[in-house]
Amino acid sequence: MDRVPEVAVVGAGIVGLCTAYALTERGTAVRVYESGVPGHGQSGGQSRIFRHAHDDARLADFTRQGRAVWDEWADRLGAELISQDGVVALGRSVPGRLRILQDVGGIPARTVDSAELHTRMPLLADYRGPAMLDEAGGAIRTRAAVESLANALGDAMVPDEVISLHPTGHGTVEVLSAVGREEYATAVVCAGLGTARLARNVGLSLPVQPAAHVRLTFQVRGSPPQQVACLQDSSGDFGEVGVYAAPYPGNSRYAVGLSQTVEVREDGSFADPNALVALNDRARAYVSHALPGLDPEPVEYLHCWVTSLPWSEDGMAVWEADRILFAAGHNLFKQAPRLGRALAGAAMDEELEEILRPAATLGQPR
């Protein structure tokens, strides 16, 4: 690429990739800086859950809109990006969340009895409490999404680390990277764990909370089921009140994690060094109680960093500083295409959507 593109995107996790792809949809030339391997930060590993159920109706609606973007891109990229098998949610939060989805409208979700639950989620032990099915939810094919977006972006992706970026004072943004110095009309920072640091350099203090997280993957016993939904379990019936789980492509493996994370200090060290091991053990114990369809010995471990905003575990927001946008939040995989389109619009001089401004505290029920 000879000419410097119009927009710099920092980070090729799912949010940066979707933002860059949404910019190319508009015909805008973009450069994506990635210091590591695309899709290997918080976006790493196989499978994520696409669920509509949220405590904030605004976020449920945002997610509904996002589902349409996933479908559009799956058609265009020629890849299955979300499975067809839905998401089942268990526990006392079910009636409230179902009501929110019904109020938002356009989201096929309903309660299910234990017989249907067994068909939709054959790996689960007998369960008789409140349960619902989010029919248009499913397992996000994370690797297919990252690879097809990265392929579509081609040589717009550069393996380079952004050390700093700042407004020049004459309507552009200068990006200083490990091996370059370039000026762009706008920059969008989607650097995950690195976003708050880059924002601090331009005087913004983002309330991003880093934490450590663990997710284990288990082998399905016997032949893989034809149909297997993702699971969100807040029932406590199997010893835990915050568990999520999703199948890998082909349904022969199932990834299980506790929503709980491990607090880290400013320097990245753990307040309790044993906490990550304890989370591992609890996830294994949960599987042996709740998921008899899985061999309880994990076949893969994913230990990773996550970032979140203080107002909700699904919170998401975008900060602006003089032609630089900073995106932050948690559980962003499902939101990335819709968020990417919003960031692309804001990068091209459209107003940032009100709902994404920090003052809107998207994710916190109003």
Ligand X SMILES: Cc1cc2nc3c(=O)[nH]c(=O)nc-3n(C[C@H](O)[C@H](O)[C@H](O)COP(=O)(O)OP(=O)(O)OC[C@H]3O[C@@H](n4cnc5c(N)ncnc54)[C@H](O)[C@@H]3O)c2cc1C
CB of 208 to ligand X, least distance (A): 11
- Encoded amino acid at 5, one letter: P
Residues numbered 81-120 forming contacts with ligand X, rule: CB under 6 A: none
What lies within 8 Å, CB to CB, of 243 at 6+ separation is 231, 232, 233, 234, 256, 257, 258, 259, 283, 286, 290
**Nearest position to ligand X, beta carbon:** 13
HSE-up of residue 251 (Cα within 13 Å, Cβ side): 18
Of 113 and 143, nearer to ligand X (C-beta) is: 143
Site map for ligand X, 211-250, x if CB under 6 A?
--x-x----------------------------x------
**Comparing C-alpha atoms, which of 65, 56, 231, 13 is closest to residue 138?**
231
Using the rule CB under 6 A, is 338 a contact of ligand X?
no
CB of 192 to ligand X, least distance (A): 2
**Token pair of 35 as six digits:** 């210091």
Using the rule CB under 6 A, is 268 a contact of ligand X?
no
Of 68 and 128, nearer to ligand X (C-beta) is: 68
Of 58 and 215, nearer to ligand X (C-beta) is: 215
Distance between CA atoms of 251 and 238, rounded to whole angstroms?
22
- Encoded amino acid at 281, one letter: D
The angle at the Cα of 136, spanning 76 to 14, to the nearest 5 degrees, equals 50
Window of 35-43, 58-66, 113-121, 348-356 that interacts with ligand X by CB under 6 A: 35-43
HSE-up of residue 331 (Cα within 13 Å, Cβ side): 20
**Token pair of 18 as six digits:** 């979707």
What lies within 8 Å, CB to CB, of 240 at 6+ separation is 233, 258, 282, 286
Site map for ligand X, 157-176, x if CB under 6 A?
----xx--------------
Site map for ligand X, 312-331, x if CB under 6 A?
------------------xx
CB of 18 to ligand X, least distance (A): 8
Residues that bind ligand X (CB under 6 A): 10-16, 33-36, 40-43, 45, 48-49, 161-162, 190-192, 194, 213, 215, 244, 257, 302, 304, 306, 330-334
